[in-house]
């Protein structure tokens, strides 16, 4: 019988760090990456040579970008792998690091995400298509926005309120790409991209880095890491898309499927969740995902949003970091940055954006493919 | 000179779509023999099946901005559940009109450029 992460050795997040997500610049990716790793090492209070393996998440840097970066920390000879899984690259690297520690192969492992905004290249499959070259990511989510608005009799203005909340959160996050509060009028203004989607309702893909160090209890003891600040990973689940009935959105169904398994593994219910970081590359996604994670029934997300239940200080703070819309989505780092935000919140170290009494957090990421990753973290 | 289909492996001059069917019953578009997404059968187990090009609109959206400057905006993308099962996303004939979900749609060929013909969906009738 296959086992889950929770059946293996306990794994803890012990160090987190970032290089701010930002608009494309001349900063080399090496600078972005080592900045985040050094901050995570400092946060854990450990030295680089104690890290036994590294997973480098990147989607847009090309082949073997990790070693030219990591060598500047001291070439310790540690095993190194690169992880590419579209938007979920960082989540995947984090899961691999957790699995390695949980299995007992290492006591301390690193997941680091780093990316620059380079063109996406995808090889053809040998199967032609009608007009995929005309369909950008935002077009897919504009179609979903229209479907959602039509099915649930919800206005585009109400869907856009997701962006108002997430810009407000991002304004309190020094690592966010967008750090400015925005009114509903501002969010709805500007040029329409597709359908009702405006630029402030879409993620600004930029560059940056995020790093997370995970450790076993043996590692924490041996290296004298502060156990009171360690956050346990109590669930880790990954799934990919199956064939769903026509009309069922794969993003939503895949999220439901993956989250259900993760909640079961962690033995928590949606009501127990204090913090959720989810893939809000476009406003409508946040509503789809909170409904499929189980915070409320389908079509009721807007009610929670409007009554402030998703705000910091509300029932469950959703995207307290600012989410992909405000914190940003540099691809490789994004899923790792989510874990960092949840760890900050569960430790009570989130400063101006601290959600009171946060004990349990869930990180959700989808990636083109489609793949879905869900992690659940808990303060001991 | 006769007008050329831009993508003759995907549709016929009459506007039918060139799909396929697996021996397991799964109907897909376009035709391919790499393998069935439901059961994994491949090769001769996957046979061509012509799809009517009719279906129901699930959603549509007007695209106002597009990275490719050669593609004039606005244009409209629709998601259509074909009568035989597969869902396709492609260009609609109306470039700037919102069509309501649930509308019956049909494929037709329209002139593109000097001598080309390409497939577009429009409300049936």
Q: Say how many Å lie between the first and final Cα of chain B, rounded.
A: 29
| pLDDT at residue A371 in the model | 97
* Residue in A closest to B90 by C-alpha: A131
- Residue-wise pLDDT for A69-110, tens only, equals 999 999 999 999 999 999 999 999 999 999 999 999 999 999
Pairing of strands A275-277, A360-367: parallel
- Mean pLDDT computed over B12-23: 96
| pLDDT at residue B2 in the model | 65
Kindly determine whether residue B119 and residue A130, on different chains, have CB atoms separated by under 8 Å.
yes
Alpha carbons within 13 A on the beta-carbon side of A312: 26
Residues of chain B found within 8 Å of residue A246, distances taken between Cβ atoms: 58, 81, 85-87
Residues of chain B found within 8 Å of residue A127, distances taken between Cβ atoms: 30, 32, 34
Domains defined along chain B, listed by start:
53-125 (2.40.50)
What gap in Å lies between CA A297 and CA A252, rounded to an integer?
Answer: 13
- Residue-wise pLDDT for A58-72, tens only, equals 999 999 999 999 999
Ranges of residues in chain A with a pLDDT under 50 are none
Average pLDDT value for chain B: 94
* Token duo for residue A9: 């050795």
How many Cβ pairs within 8 Å bridge chains A and B?
91
What gap in Å lies between CA A29 and CA A114, rounded to an integer?
Answer: 7
Residue B1 reports pLDDT greater than 70: no
Domains defined along chain A, listed by start:
5-118+205-231 (3.40.47.10), 136-198+232-378 (3.40.47.10)
Instruction: Confirm or reject contact between B8 and chain A (CB < 8 A).
Output: no
Chain A residues whose C-beta is within 8 A of a chain B C-beta are: 125-136, 139-140, 142-147, 150-151, 191-195, 243, 246-247
What gap in Å lies between CA B107 and CA B13, rounded to an integer?
Answer: 11
* Token duo for residue A81: 């792998």
Kindly determine whether residue B64 and residue A194, on different chains, have CB atoms separated by under 8 Å.
yes
Residue A276 contacts residue A257 (beta carbons within 8 Å) = no
Kindly determine whether residue A131 and residue B63, on different chains, have CB atoms separated by under 8 Å.
no
Instruction: Confirm or reject contact between B60 and chain A (CB < 8 A).
Output: yes
| pLDDT at residue A246 in the model | 81
Closest in A130, A134, A246 to B75, CB measured: A134
């Amino acid at each position: 019988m296959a086992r889950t992460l929770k059946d293996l050795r306990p794994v803890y997040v012990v160090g987190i760090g970032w290089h701010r997500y930002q608009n494309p610049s001349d900063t080399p990716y090496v600078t972005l990456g080592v900045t985040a790793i050094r901050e995570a090492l400092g946060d854990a209070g450990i030295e680089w040579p104690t890290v036994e393996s590294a997973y480098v998440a990147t989607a847009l840097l090309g082949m073997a970008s990790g070693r030219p970066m990591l060598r500047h920390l001291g070439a310790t000879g540690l095993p190194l792998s690169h992880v590419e899984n579209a938007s979920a690259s960082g989540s995947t690297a984090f899961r691999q690091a957790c699995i390695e520690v949980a299995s007992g192969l290492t006591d301390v492992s690193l997941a680091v995400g780093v990316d620059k905004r380079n063109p996406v290249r995808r090889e053809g499959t040998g199967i032609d298509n009608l007009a995929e070259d005309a369909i950008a990511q935002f077009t897919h989510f504009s179609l979903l926005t229209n479907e959602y608005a039509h099915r649930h009799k919800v206005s585009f203005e109400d869907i856009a309120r997701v962006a108002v909340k997430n810009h407000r959160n991002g304004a309190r996050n020094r690592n966010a790409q967008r750090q400015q509060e925005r009114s509903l009028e501002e969010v709805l203004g500007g040029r329409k991209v597709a359908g009702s989607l405006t630029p402030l309702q879409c993620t600004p893909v930029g560059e940056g880095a995020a790093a997370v160090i995970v450790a076993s209890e043996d590692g924490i003891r041996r290296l004298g890491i502060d156990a009171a600040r360690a956050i346990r990973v109590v669930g880790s689940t990954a799934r990919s898309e199956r064939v769903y009935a026509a009309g069922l959105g794969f993003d939503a169904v895949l999220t439901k499927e993956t989250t259900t398994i993760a909640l079961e593994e962690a033995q928590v219910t949606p009501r127990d969740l204090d913090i959720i970081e989810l893939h809000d590359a476009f406003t409508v996604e946040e509503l789809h995902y909170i409904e499929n994670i189980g915070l409320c029934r389908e079509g009721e997300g807007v009610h929670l949003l409007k009554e402030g239940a998703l705000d910091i200080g509300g029932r469950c703070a959703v995207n307290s970091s600012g989410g992909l819309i405000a914190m940003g989505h540099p691809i490789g780092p994004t899923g790792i940055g989510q874990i960092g935000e949840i760890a900050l919140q569960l430790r009570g170290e989130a400063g101006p954006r601290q959600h009171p009494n946060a004990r349990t957090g869930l990180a959700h990421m989808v990636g083109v493919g489609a793949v879905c990753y869900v992690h659940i973290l808990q303060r001991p | 000179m006769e007008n050329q289909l831009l993508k003759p492996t995907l549709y016929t001059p009459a506007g039918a779509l060139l799909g396929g069917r697996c021996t397991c019953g799964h109907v897909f578009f376009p035709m391919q023999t790499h393998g069935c997404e439901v059961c994994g059968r491949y090769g001769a187990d996957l046979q061509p099946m012509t799809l009517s090009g009719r279906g129901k609109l699930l959603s549509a959206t007007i695209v106002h901005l597009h990275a490719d400057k050669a593609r004039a905006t606005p244009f409209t993308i629709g998601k259509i559940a074909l009568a035989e099962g597969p869902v396709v996303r492609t260009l609609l004939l109306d470039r700037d009109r919102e069509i309501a979900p649930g509308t019956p749609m049909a494929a037709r060929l329209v002139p593109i450029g000097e001598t080309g013909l390409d497939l577009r969906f429009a409300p049936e009738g």
